[in-house]
Structure 1
Amino acid sequence: MENIVLRRVIPSDNSCLFNAVGYVMEHDKQKASELRQVIAAAVASDLEKYSEAFLGKPNEEYCAWILDSEKWGGAIELSILADYYSREIGAYDIQTTRCDLYGQVTPMEGAPEEFDQTIFPVLQDRTIGTVIEGCALKLVEEAQRKRSYTDTANFTLRCGVCQTGLKGQKEAVEHARATGHVNFQEYS
Protein backbone atom coordinates (compact mmCIF):
# COMPACT_ATOMS: atom_id res chain seq x y z
CA MET A 1 0.00 0.00 0.00
CA GLU A 2 1.35 3.41 -0.95
CA ASN A 3 1.31 6.27 1.53
CA ILE A 4 0.12 9.65 0.32
CA VAL A 5 1.15 12.91 1.89
CA LEU A 6 -1.67 15.41 1.74
CA ARG A 7 -2.63 18.78 3.04
CA ARG A 8 -5.34 19.11 5.67
CA VAL A 9 -6.79 22.59 5.94
CA ILE A 10 -6.59 24.31 9.29
CA PRO A 11 -8.55 27.59 9.51
CA SER A 12 -6.25 30.60 9.20
CA ASP A 13 -7.47 32.27 12.39
CA ASN A 14 -4.15 33.42 13.92
CA SER A 15 -4.04 30.16 15.91
CA CYS A 16 -3.44 27.92 12.90
CA LEU A 17 0.06 26.87 13.97
CA PHE A 18 -1.22 25.66 17.35
CA ASN A 19 -4.25 23.90 15.86
CA ALA A 20 -2.05 22.29 13.19
CA VAL A 21 0.32 20.93 15.83
CA GLY A 22 -2.67 19.77 17.88
CA TYR A 23 -4.00 17.96 14.82
CA VAL A 24 -0.68 16.35 13.93
CA MET A 25 0.01 15.22 17.48
CA GLU A 26 -3.49 14.45 18.75
CA HIS A 27 -5.85 14.59 15.74
CA ASP A 28 -7.53 17.57 17.41
CA LYS A 29 -7.86 20.86 15.49
CA GLN A 30 -9.07 22.75 18.57
CA LYS A 31 -5.91 22.69 20.71
CA ALA A 32 -4.77 26.30 20.32
CA SER A 33 -5.86 27.58 23.71
CA GLU A 34 -4.41 24.58 25.54
CA LEU A 35 -1.12 24.67 23.60
CA ARG A 36 -0.75 28.42 24.13
CA GLN A 37 -1.01 27.70 27.88
CA VAL A 38 1.63 24.97 27.58
CA ILE A 39 3.96 27.45 25.89
CA ALA A 40 3.32 30.23 28.41
CA ALA A 41 3.97 27.81 31.30
CA ALA A 42 7.22 26.58 29.73
CA VAL A 43 8.44 30.13 29.14
CA ALA A 44 7.45 31.31 32.63
CA SER A 45 9.23 28.35 34.22
CA ASP A 46 12.65 29.14 32.71
CA LEU A 47 13.49 32.83 32.98
CA GLU A 48 17.12 32.22 32.05
CA LYS A 49 16.47 30.33 28.82
CA TYR A 50 13.51 32.51 27.87
CA SER A 51 15.11 35.86 28.53
CA GLU A 52 14.05 39.18 27.05
CA ALA A 53 16.94 38.92 24.59
CA PHE A 54 15.65 35.55 23.37
CA LEU A 55 11.95 36.43 23.32
CA GLY A 56 12.20 40.01 22.10
CA LYS A 57 10.16 41.17 25.10
CA PRO A 58 10.16 40.59 28.85
CA ASN A 59 9.26 37.04 29.89
CA GLU A 60 6.05 38.02 31.67
CA GLU A 61 4.94 40.20 28.73
CA TYR A 62 5.63 37.36 26.28
CA CYS A 63 3.55 34.95 28.40
CA ALA A 64 0.56 37.32 28.27
CA TRP A 65 1.17 37.94 24.56
CA ILE A 66 1.23 34.25 23.53
CA LEU A 67 -2.06 33.61 25.36
CA ASP A 68 -3.77 36.16 23.08
CA SER A 69 -5.61 34.21 20.35
CA GLU A 70 -4.84 37.00 17.87
CA LYS A 71 -1.06 36.43 18.05
CA TRP A 72 0.79 34.08 15.70
CA GLY A 73 3.26 31.41 16.70
CA GLY A 74 6.59 30.59 15.11
CA ALA A 75 9.94 28.99 15.78
CA ILE A 76 9.98 29.56 19.55
CA GLU A 77 6.55 27.99 19.93
CA LEU A 78 7.35 25.03 17.66
CA SER A 79 10.51 24.36 19.65
CA ILE A 80 8.58 24.32 22.93
CA LEU A 81 5.85 22.10 21.47
CA ALA A 82 8.42 19.64 20.12
CA ASP A 83 9.79 19.32 23.66
CA TYR A 84 6.28 19.05 25.11
CA TYR A 85 5.34 16.20 22.77
CA SER A 86 8.85 14.67 22.78
CA ARG A 87 8.69 14.63 18.98
CA GLU A 88 10.53 16.27 16.13
CA ILE A 89 8.33 18.80 14.35
CA GLY A 90 9.32 20.02 10.95
CA ALA A 91 7.64 22.95 9.25
CA TYR A 92 7.69 23.74 5.56
CA ASP A 93 7.59 27.28 4.24
CA ILE A 94 5.45 26.91 1.14
CA GLN A 95 6.68 30.18 -0.35
CA THR A 96 10.34 29.05 -0.34
CA THR A 97 9.88 25.26 0.14
CA ARG A 98 12.42 25.46 2.97
CA CYS A 99 11.93 22.85 5.67
CA ASP A 100 12.64 23.98 9.25
CA LEU A 101 8.91 18.52 9.11
CA TYR A 102 5.38 18.10 9.91
CA GLY A 103 3.04 16.49 7.45
CA GLN A 104 0.21 14.04 7.20
CA VAL A 105 0.38 10.66 5.54
CA THR A 106 -2.72 8.70 4.72
CA PRO A 107 -3.09 5.12 3.44
CA MET A 108 -5.08 6.16 0.36
CA GLU A 109 -6.26 9.24 -1.53
CA GLY A 110 -9.55 10.52 -0.12
CA ALA A 111 -9.20 8.68 3.20
CA PRO A 112 -10.93 10.32 6.18
CA GLU A 113 -8.79 12.30 8.62
CA GLU A 114 -8.95 9.59 11.29
CA PHE A 115 -6.78 7.42 9.00
CA ASP A 116 -4.01 10.03 8.80
CA GLN A 117 -0.63 9.02 10.17
CA THR A 118 1.09 12.12 11.49
CA ILE A 119 3.91 10.67 13.58
CA PHE A 120 6.52 8.40 12.02
CA PRO A 121 9.11 6.06 13.43
CA VAL A 122 12.70 6.92 12.63
CA LEU A 123 14.49 3.84 11.35
CA GLN A 124 18.26 3.53 11.55
CA ASP A 125 18.57 3.54 7.77
CA ARG A 126 16.16 6.54 7.52
CA THR A 127 14.24 4.87 4.66
CA ILE A 128 10.81 5.83 5.97
CA GLY A 129 11.92 9.35 6.84
CA THR A 130 13.42 9.86 3.39
CA VAL A 131 10.27 8.63 1.64
CA ILE A 132 7.98 10.75 3.82
CA GLU A 133 10.16 13.84 3.48
CA GLY A 134 10.24 13.39 -0.32
CA CYS A 135 6.44 13.08 -0.45
CA ALA A 136 6.04 16.11 1.81
CA LEU A 137 8.39 18.22 -0.31
CA LYS A 138 6.43 17.23 -3.43
CA LEU A 139 3.22 18.41 -1.75
CA VAL A 140 4.85 21.67 -0.66
CA GLU A 141 6.19 22.33 -4.17
CA GLU A 142 2.68 21.83 -5.60
CA ALA A 143 1.22 24.22 -3.01
CA GLN A 144 3.96 26.70 -3.90
CA ARG A 145 3.04 26.48 -7.61
CA LYS A 146 -0.56 27.23 -6.65
CA ARG A 147 0.62 30.13 -4.43
CA SER A 148 -1.13 28.55 -1.43
CA TYR A 149 0.58 30.75 1.11
CA THR A 150 0.36 34.22 2.55
CA ASP A 151 3.27 36.46 1.65
CA THR A 152 3.38 38.46 4.87
CA ALA A 153 5.94 40.90 3.45
CA ASN A 154 3.84 41.86 0.43
CA PHE A 155 0.17 41.03 1.11
CA THR A 156 -2.32 43.88 1.05
CA LEU A 157 -4.36 44.62 4.13
CA ARG A 158 -7.06 47.04 5.09
CA CYS A 159 -7.49 48.27 8.64
CA GLY A 160 -10.94 47.20 9.80
CA VAL A 161 -11.21 50.29 12.02
CA CYS A 162 -10.14 53.22 9.79
CA GLN A 163 -10.05 51.46 6.37
CA THR A 164 -6.42 52.48 5.72
CA GLY A 165 -4.76 50.34 3.02
CA LEU A 166 -1.49 48.70 4.08
CA LYS A 167 1.14 46.51 2.43
CA GLY A 168 2.81 43.75 4.39
CA GLN A 169 3.14 42.80 8.02
CA LYS A 170 5.64 45.59 8.67
CA GLU A 171 3.16 48.34 7.72
CA ALA A 172 0.39 46.59 9.68
CA VAL A 173 2.58 46.47 12.81
CA GLU A 174 3.55 50.13 12.39
CA HIS A 175 -0.11 51.10 11.91
CA ALA A 176 -1.13 49.10 14.99
CA ARG A 177 1.57 50.76 17.10
CA ALA A 178 0.62 54.24 15.90
CA THR A 179 -3.17 53.87 16.16
CA GLY A 180 -3.86 50.94 18.48
CA HIS A 181 -5.91 49.34 15.69
CA VAL A 182 -5.46 45.56 15.42
CA ASN A 183 -8.33 44.48 13.16
CA PHE A 184 -6.97 43.84 9.64
CA GLN A 185 -8.40 42.05 6.62
CA GLU A 186 -6.47 40.81 3.62
CA TYR A 187 -7.70 42.03 0.22
CA SER A 188 -6.52 42.03 -3.37
Structure 2
Amino acid sequence: MSFPPIFLKMSPFVSSYLLKVIAATVASDTEKYSEAFLEKPNEEYCAWILDPEKWGGAIELSILADYYGREIAAYDIQTTRCDLYGQAMKYPERVMLIYDGLHYDALAMSPSEGAPEEFDQTIFTVQKNRMIGPIERLAINLVKDQQRKRSYTDTANFTLRCGVCQIGVIGQKEAVEHAQETGHVNFQEFK
Protein backbone atom coordinates (compact mmCIF):
# COMPACT_ATOMS: atom_id res chain seq x y z
CA MET A 1 0.00 0.00 0.00
CA SER A 2 1.39 3.41 -0.87
CA PHE A 3 0.45 6.74 0.61
CA PRO A 4 0.48 10.21 -0.90
CA PRO A 5 3.70 12.16 -0.46
CA ILE A 6 4.11 14.82 2.20
CA PHE A 7 5.53 18.14 1.15
CA LEU A 8 6.96 20.76 3.44
CA LYS A 9 5.34 24.13 3.03
CA MET A 10 7.95 26.83 3.10
CA SER A 11 5.50 29.58 3.91
CA PRO A 12 5.91 31.02 7.39
CA PHE A 13 3.63 29.63 10.06
CA VAL A 14 3.44 32.89 11.98
CA SER A 15 1.26 35.78 10.92
CA SER A 16 0.63 39.13 12.57
CA TYR A 17 -2.87 37.87 13.40
CA LEU A 18 -1.47 34.90 15.34
CA LEU A 19 0.95 37.16 17.20
CA LYS A 20 -1.99 39.37 18.24
CA VAL A 21 -3.90 36.30 19.46
CA ILE A 22 -0.92 35.26 21.58
CA ALA A 23 -0.36 38.75 23.00
CA ALA A 24 -4.05 39.17 23.85
CA THR A 25 -4.16 35.77 25.57
CA VAL A 26 -1.06 36.53 27.63
CA ALA A 27 -2.25 40.04 28.54
CA SER A 28 -5.66 38.71 29.62
CA ASP A 29 -4.24 36.39 32.30
CA THR A 30 -1.35 38.04 34.16
CA GLU A 31 -1.56 35.43 36.91
CA LYS A 32 -1.02 32.45 34.61
CA TYR A 33 1.40 34.35 32.38
CA SER A 34 3.50 35.80 35.15
CA GLU A 35 7.04 37.13 34.91
CA ALA A 36 8.32 33.86 36.39
CA PHE A 37 6.53 31.89 33.65
CA LEU A 38 7.42 34.21 30.75
CA GLU A 39 10.93 35.10 31.99
CA LYS A 40 10.03 38.78 31.48
CA PRO A 41 7.22 41.03 32.70
CA ASN A 42 3.84 40.31 31.07
CA GLU A 43 3.61 43.71 29.37
CA GLU A 44 7.18 43.46 28.06
CA TYR A 45 6.48 39.97 26.71
CA CYS A 46 3.35 41.21 24.90
CA ALA A 47 5.33 43.98 23.19
CA TRP A 48 8.11 41.49 22.33
CA ILE A 49 5.80 38.87 20.79
CA LEU A 50 4.11 41.47 18.57
CA ASP A 51 7.43 42.07 16.80
CA PRO A 52 7.15 39.97 13.60
CA GLU A 53 10.89 39.23 13.81
CA LYS A 54 10.39 37.43 17.15
CA TRP A 55 8.91 34.04 17.87
CA GLY A 56 8.85 31.75 20.83
CA GLY A 57 7.97 28.10 21.04
CA ALA A 58 6.14 26.06 23.63
CA ILE A 59 4.16 28.88 25.25
CA GLU A 60 2.96 30.20 21.92
CA LEU A 61 2.10 26.80 20.44
CA SER A 62 0.17 25.86 23.58
CA ILE A 63 -1.86 29.09 23.33
CA LEU A 64 -2.59 28.46 19.63
CA ALA A 65 -3.65 24.85 20.26
CA ASP A 66 -6.24 26.10 22.74
CA TYR A 67 -7.27 29.01 20.52
CA TYR A 68 -7.96 26.76 17.52
CA GLY A 69 -9.15 23.75 19.53
CA ARG A 70 -6.66 21.51 17.75
CA GLU A 71 -3.58 19.59 18.78
CA ILE A 72 -0.36 20.91 17.35
CA ALA A 73 2.42 18.40 16.69
CA ALA A 74 5.75 20.22 16.39
CA TYR A 75 8.56 18.09 14.98
CA ASP A 76 12.14 19.22 15.61
CA ILE A 77 14.38 18.24 12.70
CA GLN A 78 17.63 18.32 14.69
CA THR A 79 16.45 15.94 17.44
CA THR A 80 13.51 14.27 15.60
CA ARG A 81 11.52 14.90 18.77
CA CYS A 82 7.80 15.63 18.50
CA ASP A 83 6.20 17.94 21.06
CA LEU A 84 2.43 17.69 21.15
CA TYR A 85 0.42 20.69 22.36
CA GLY A 86 -3.23 20.46 23.40
CA GLN A 87 -3.18 16.69 23.92
CA ALA A 88 -4.61 16.97 27.45
CA MET A 89 -7.74 18.55 25.97
CA LYS A 90 -8.22 15.57 23.63
CA TYR A 91 -9.00 17.81 20.68
CA PRO A 92 -10.45 15.90 17.72
CA GLU A 93 -8.03 17.32 15.14
CA ARG A 94 -4.28 17.87 14.75
CA VAL A 95 -2.02 20.02 12.62
CA MET A 96 1.68 19.38 12.15
CA LEU A 97 4.65 21.73 12.07
CA ILE A 98 8.34 21.18 11.42
CA TYR A 99 10.94 23.24 13.28
CA ASP A 100 14.31 23.74 11.59
CA GLY A 101 16.02 25.56 14.45
CA LEU A 102 14.98 28.98 13.20
CA HIS A 103 11.32 28.80 12.24
CA TYR A 104 8.27 26.61 11.99
CA ASP A 105 6.79 25.47 8.69
CA ALA A 106 3.39 23.86 8.22
CA LEU A 107 3.38 20.25 7.12
CA ALA A 108 0.79 19.31 4.53
CA MET A 109 -0.21 16.21 2.61
CA SER A 110 -0.49 16.96 -1.08
CA PRO A 111 -2.16 14.71 -3.67
CA SER A 112 0.79 15.25 -6.02
CA GLU A 113 3.93 17.31 -6.32
CA GLY A 114 3.08 20.72 -7.68
CA ALA A 115 -0.65 20.38 -6.92
CA PRO A 116 -2.34 23.70 -6.08
CA GLU A 117 -2.20 24.58 -2.40
CA GLU A 118 -5.99 24.43 -2.04
CA PHE A 119 -5.77 20.64 -2.50
CA ASP A 120 -3.37 20.23 0.44
CA GLN A 121 -4.57 18.65 3.66
CA THR A 122 -3.19 20.29 6.80
CA ILE A 123 -5.77 19.23 9.41
CA PHE A 124 -5.95 15.57 10.40
CA THR A 125 -8.52 13.69 12.48
CA VAL A 126 -7.23 12.29 15.76
CA GLN A 127 -8.37 8.69 16.18
CA LYS A 128 -9.44 6.99 19.41
CA ASN A 129 -5.88 5.75 19.96
CA ARG A 130 -4.77 9.46 19.80
CA MET A 131 -2.89 8.81 16.55
CA ILE A 132 -3.70 10.31 13.14
CA GLY A 133 -3.11 7.26 10.98
CA PRO A 134 -0.43 6.53 8.35
CA ILE A 135 0.28 10.24 7.85
CA GLU A 136 1.99 10.24 11.24
CA ARG A 137 4.58 7.65 10.11
CA LEU A 138 5.13 9.62 6.91
CA ALA A 139 5.73 12.79 8.92
CA ILE A 140 8.26 11.03 11.14
CA ASN A 141 10.04 9.61 8.09
CA LEU A 142 10.17 13.07 6.52
CA VAL A 143 11.63 14.56 9.70
CA LYS A 144 14.29 11.82 9.86
CA ASP A 145 15.13 12.39 6.20
CA GLN A 146 15.51 16.13 6.82
CA GLN A 147 17.75 15.37 9.80
CA ARG A 148 19.99 13.11 7.66
CA LYS A 149 20.26 15.97 5.16
CA ARG A 150 21.14 18.33 8.05
CA SER A 151 18.23 20.59 7.06
CA TYR A 152 18.29 22.43 10.35
CA THR A 153 20.23 25.18 12.07
CA ASP A 154 21.92 24.32 15.36
CA THR A 155 21.49 27.69 17.07
CA ALA A 156 23.57 26.61 20.07
CA ASN A 157 26.64 25.73 18.01
CA PHE A 158 26.49 27.51 14.66
CA THR A 159 29.29 29.90 13.84
CA LEU A 160 28.50 33.51 13.06
CA ARG A 161 30.53 36.52 12.02
CA CYS A 162 29.54 40.03 13.02
CA GLY A 163 28.84 42.00 9.85
CA VAL A 164 30.10 45.19 11.50
CA CYS A 165 33.38 44.27 13.23
CA GLN A 166 33.97 40.81 11.66
CA ILE A 167 34.38 39.10 15.06
CA GLY A 168 33.39 35.43 15.07
CA VAL A 169 31.01 34.02 17.68
CA ILE A 170 29.64 30.55 18.35
CA GLY A 171 25.96 30.06 18.98
CA GLN A 172 23.02 32.29 19.64
CA LYS A 173 24.10 32.99 23.22
CA GLU A 174 27.44 34.53 22.17
CA ALA A 175 25.73 36.48 19.37
CA VAL A 176 23.25 37.97 21.84
CA GLU A 177 26.06 38.87 24.25
CA HIS A 178 28.06 40.52 21.45
CA ALA A 179 24.98 42.47 20.31
CA GLN A 180 24.30 43.67 23.87
CA GLU A 181 27.92 44.75 24.38
CA THR A 182 28.40 46.47 21.01
CA GLY A 183 24.97 47.25 19.59
CA HIS A 184 25.89 45.23 16.48
CA VAL A 185 23.01 43.12 15.19
CA ASN A 186 24.15 42.14 11.69
CA PHE A 187 25.42 38.53 11.74
CA GLN A 188 26.11 36.06 8.96
CA GLU A 189 26.59 32.34 9.34
CA PHE A 190 29.96 31.00 8.22
CA LYS A 191 31.77 27.69 8.37
Report TM bin, short chain: 0.7 to 0.9
Unaligned runs of 5+ in 2: 84-95, 98-106
The equivalent position to 1:164 in structure 2, one of 162, 167, 178, is 167
**In structure 2, what is the Cα distance between the partners aligned to 1:126 and 1:69?**
33
Pair 1:106 & 2:110 matched: yes
Please say which of residues 32-41 and 157-166 is displaced more in the overlay.
Answer: 157-166
Code of the residue aligned with 1:150 in structure 2: it is T
Question: Root-mean-square deviation (CA), in Å?
Answer: 1.8
Quote the sequence identity (%). 69
Moved over 6 A (4+): none
Q: Measured at CA, do residues 67 and 183 of structure 1 come closer, stay the same or move farther in structure 2, by a change above 3 Å?
A: farther
**In structure 2, what is the Cα distance between the partners aligned to 1:90 and 1:144?**
17
**In structure 2, what is the Cα distance between the partners aligned to 1:177 and 1:166?**
13
The equivalent position to 1:120 in structure 2, one of 124, 130, 141, is 124
Q: Matched residue pairs, number?
A: 169
Q: TM-score normalised to the size of structure 2?
A: 0.81
Unaligned runs of 5+ in 1: 11-18, 21-30
Asked whether the 8 Å contact 2:127–2:133 carries over to 1, the reply is no
Matching residue of 2:154: 151
Q: TM-score normalised to the size of structure 1?
A: 0.82
Asked whether the 8 Å contact 1:157–1:166 carries over to 2, the reply is yes
The equivalent position to 1:36 in structure 2, one of 19, 24, 29, is 19
Q: What is the DSSP-based 3-state SS (H/G/I as helix, E as strand, rest coil) of the residue aligned with 1:9?
A: strand
**In structure 1, what is the Cα distance between the partners aligned to 2:145 and 2:50?**
33
Asked whether the 8 Å contact 2:159–2:190 carries over to 1, the reply is yes
Matching residue of 1:16: none
Matching residue of 1:15: none
Please say which of residues 84-93 and 155-164 is displaced more in the overlay.
Answer: 155-164
**In structure 2, what is the Cα distance between the partners aligned to 1:160 and 1:64?**
27
The equivalent position to 2:47 in structure 1, one of 55, 59, 64, is 64
> How far does the alpha carbon of each residue in 1:37-60 deviate from its partner, in whole angstroms, 9 at most, with x for none?
111111100001100011000000
> How far does the alpha carbon of each residue in 1:128-153 deviate from its partner, in whole angstroms, 9 at most, with x for none?
x1312111000001100100000101
Query: Per residue, is there more strand in 1 or in 2?
Result: 2
Per the TM alignment, residue 70 of structure 1 is displaced from its structure 2 partner at its CA by: 2.2
Matching residue of 1:26: none
**In structure 2, what is the Cα distance between the partners aligned to 1:161 and 1:64?**
27
**In structure 2, what is the Cα distance between the partners aligned to 1:156 and 1:132?**
36
Per the TM alignment, residue 107 of structure 1 is displaced from its structure 2 partner at its CA by: 2.0
Matching residue of 1:184: 187
Q: Measured at CA, do residues 167 and 185 of structure 1 come closer, stay the same or move farther in structure 2, by a change above 3 Å?
A: same
